[in-house]
């Protein structure tokens, strides 16, 4: 069914019956993966992000960390980024159908997300990704008038080009390593150690104010990383936009050849690359073995979008089978993905930080994973309960209000087309 607005109609928030259930299911699935990845860094310094798997764990905990590193970490932010790009494309398609220019609306949407992301990054948890998405969304506007094929081309070029640069850098580091022993920059090593110690002190024992100050310092210090990350993120956004505009998400049957290729070619290729990366190393030593670490990271970056697209194609295929009834249980959590993402951070920092329960460093990986599964199950149930009474999650409602410049009806009884 076509839910595009009539030509000349004002753009308005999408009401529940107009939503693509496939996107909501995929968001719910991605939300679980993001939580499995993030929980480790609610109780570990963010300065260690990118260092790989902690070798000092018990065997079961190490095995779980290894599995999450290979199959989850770096894959589910990409799945979310694909969905974010699809949202961009969906708004653009609705605007084109209505004969409207959506730039002002999308600018408000992106700036509102930037505000939410900054509040999250500085006041709640420093591992926020919303700021990156919001900044990348502004870049996306440059590609708004491109054809789906051109968007795919630029997406692959941006992401693939960045991966090739990482591979090239690993080669240069290897040559430098072969030319002589690697010299450790003592000043840099001391600065990193000081940052790590400051994070542990602020988060494990400090007040909320101490944590905020540390998050501000971390955010400012890593602004350069944000710029680099945007190259990868915008590339994935554009691939997601192409995938939505291709019709493969809304109407999978005519696009089975594409989806089959993602399942039978992209997924195995991604698995091979991910396992090759893990075989090289899962513990990055950037001071004494940077070449090997960089090669492992480059291969994992190459593997991640292939695995993510494969996961996506598997979910889309499963939605055409009897598994659909079970997968649809994820849809309410996906409709409230932003609210649930922020709730995960609020709960995670409250459990582990000193201004909450103070369990920093005391919860083994196995119990972290079990806790994630239990909390996510409650989020699925709670989201269903909420959406039986309201049209939007609370943060989604606020985001839409900022985007459209008016308050959308919250309760179902008040629903009507604006």
- pLDDT score recorded for residue 104: 87
Mean predicted confidence (pLDDT) in 55-83: 96
Mean predicted confidence (pLDDT) in 349-364: 96
Burial of 328 (0-12, 13-18, 19+ CB in 10 A): middle
pLDDT in tens, 239-263: 999 999 999 998 999 999 999 999 9
- pLDDT score recorded for residue 353: 98
What is the number of helices (H) and of strands (E) in the chain?
17, 0
Give the number of other Cβ atoms within 10 Å of residue 6's Cβ.
8
- pLDDT of 177 strictly over 90: no
- Helix (H/G/I), strand (E/B), else coil: 328: helix
- pLDDT of 9 strictly over 50: no
- CA within 13 Å, CB half, 113: 21
Burial of 362 (0-12, 13-18, 19+ CB in 10 A): exposed
- pLDDT score recorded for residue 182: 61
Alpha-carbon distance 93 to 245, whole Å?
8
- pLDDT of 301 strictly over 70: yes
Alpha-carbon distance 363 to 375, whole Å?
15
Question: What is the biggest distance separating any 2 CA atoms in the chain, rounded to whole angstroms?
Answer: 73
- pLDDT score recorded for residue 247: 93
Query: pLDDT-derived band of residue 416, with 50, 70 and 90 as boundaries?
Result: very low
- Helix (H/G/I), strand (E/B), else coil: 257: helix
- pLDDT of 299 strictly over 60: yes
The Cα angle at residue 116 between residues 111 and 120, in degrees rounded to 5:
140
| Among the listed residues 2, 29, 32, 38, the one whose alpha carbon sits nearest the alpha carbon of residue 17 | 2
- pLDDT of 2 strictly over 50: no
- pLDDT of 415 strictly over 60: no
Alpha-carbon distance 339 to 31, whole Å?
11
- pLDDT of 47 strictly over 70: yes
Alpha-carbon distance 110 to 208, whole Å?
28
Query: pLDDT-derived band of residue 185, with 50, 70 and 90 as boundaries?
Result: low
- Residue bearing the bigger pLDDT, 123 or 91: 123
Alpha-carbon distance 301 to 219, whole Å?
23
- pLDDT score recorded for residue 7: 45
| Among the listed residues 227, 160, 218, the one whose alpha carbon sits nearest the alpha carbon of residue 194 | 218
Share of the chain above pLDDT 70, in %: 92
pLDDT in tens, 230-241: 999 999 999 999
- Give the H or E element holding residue 33: helix 21-38
Identify whether the C-beta of residue 54 lies closer than 8 Å to the C-beta of residue 45.
no
pLDDT in tens, 386-406: 999 999 999 999 999 999 888
Alpha-carbon distance 173 to 159, whole Å?
21
- pLDDT score recorded for residue 284: 93
Query: pLDDT-derived band of residue 184, with 50, 70 and 90 as boundaries?
Result: low
For every residue of 180-227, DSSP letters joined together read SPPPP-HHHHHHHHHHHHHHHHHHHTS-HHHHHHHHHHHHHHTHHHHH
Q: Which residue has the tokens 């959506």?
A: 102
- pLDDT score recorded for residue 13: 56
Alpha-carbon distance 359 to 351, whole Å?
6
Domain ranges of the chain: 16-414
- pLDDT of 288 strictly over 90: no
- Residue bearing the bigger pLDDT, 180 or 13: 180
Whole-number Cα distances in Å, 109 to 26, 103, 114, 142, 345: 21, 10, 9, 16, 22
Residue 400 structure tokens: 């839409």
* Sequence-separated (6 or more) residues with CB below 8 Å from residue 8: 98, 99
- pLDDT score recorded for residue 180: 67
Burial of 158 (0-12, 13-18, 19+ CB in 10 A): buried
Mean predicted confidence (pLDDT) in 163-171: 96
- pLDDT score recorded for residue 96: 75
Alpha-carbon distance 262 to 364, whole Å?
35
* Average pLDDT along the chain: 91
- pLDDT of 28 strictly over 70: yes
- pLDDT score recorded for residue 25: 97
Query: pLDDT-derived band of residue 87, with 50, 70 and 90 as boundaries?
Result: very high
Mean predicted confidence (pLDDT) in 29-37: 97
Mean predicted confidence (pLDDT) in 94-100: 75
């Amino acid at each position: 069914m076509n839910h595009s607005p009539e030509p000349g109609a004002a753009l308005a928030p999408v009401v529940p019956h107009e939503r693509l259930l496939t996107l909501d299911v995929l968001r719910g699935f991605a939300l679980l993966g993001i939580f499995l990845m993030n929980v480790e860094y609610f109780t570990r310094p963010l300065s260690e992000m990118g260092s790989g798997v902690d070798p000092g764990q018990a065997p079961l905990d190490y095995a779980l960390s290894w599995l999450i590193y290979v199959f989850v970490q770096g894959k589910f932010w990409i799945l979310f980024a694909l969905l974010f790009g699809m949202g961009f494309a969906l708004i653009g398609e609705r605007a084109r159908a209505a004969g409207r220019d959506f730039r002002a609306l999308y600018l408000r949407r992106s700036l509102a997300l930037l505000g939410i992301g900054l509040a999250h990054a500085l006041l709640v948890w420093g591992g926020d990704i919303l700021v990156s998405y919001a900044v990348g969304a502004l870049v996306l506007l440059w590609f708004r008038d491109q054809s789906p094929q051109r968007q795919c081309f630029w997406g692959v070029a941006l992401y693939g080009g960045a991966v090739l640069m990482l591979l090239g850098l690993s080669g240069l580091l290897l040559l430098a390593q072969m030319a002589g022993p690697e010299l450790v920059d003592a000043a840099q090593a001391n600065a990193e150690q000081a940052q790590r110690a400051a994070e542990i002190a602020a988060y494990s024992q400090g007040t909320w104010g101490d944590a905020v100050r540390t998050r501000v310092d971390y955010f400012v210090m890593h602004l350069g990383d944000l710029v680099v990350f945007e190259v990868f993120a915008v590339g994935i956004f554009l691939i997601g936009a192409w995938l939505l505009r291709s019709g493969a998400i809304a109407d999978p049957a005519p696009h089975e050849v594409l989806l089959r290729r993602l399942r039978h070619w992209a997924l195995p290729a991604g698995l091979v690359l991910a396992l090759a990366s893990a075989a090289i190393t899962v513990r990055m030593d950037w001071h004494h073995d940077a070449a090997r670490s960089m090669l492992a990271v480059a291969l994992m970056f190459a593997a991640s979008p292939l695995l993510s697209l494969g996961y996506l194609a598997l979910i889309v295929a499963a939605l055409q089978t009897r598994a659909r009834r079970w997968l649809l249980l994820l849809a309410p959590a996906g409709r409230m993905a932003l609210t649930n993402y922020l709730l995960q951070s609020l709960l995670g920092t409250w459990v582990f930080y000193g201004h909450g329960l103070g369990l920093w460093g005391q919860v083994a990986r196995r119990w972290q994973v079990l806790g994630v599964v239990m909390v996510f199950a409650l989020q699925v149930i709670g989201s269903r309960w909420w959406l039986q009474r309201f049209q939007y999650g609370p943060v989604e409602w606020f985001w839409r209000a900022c985007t459209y410049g008016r308050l959308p009806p919250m309760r179902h009884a008040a629903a009507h087309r604006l």
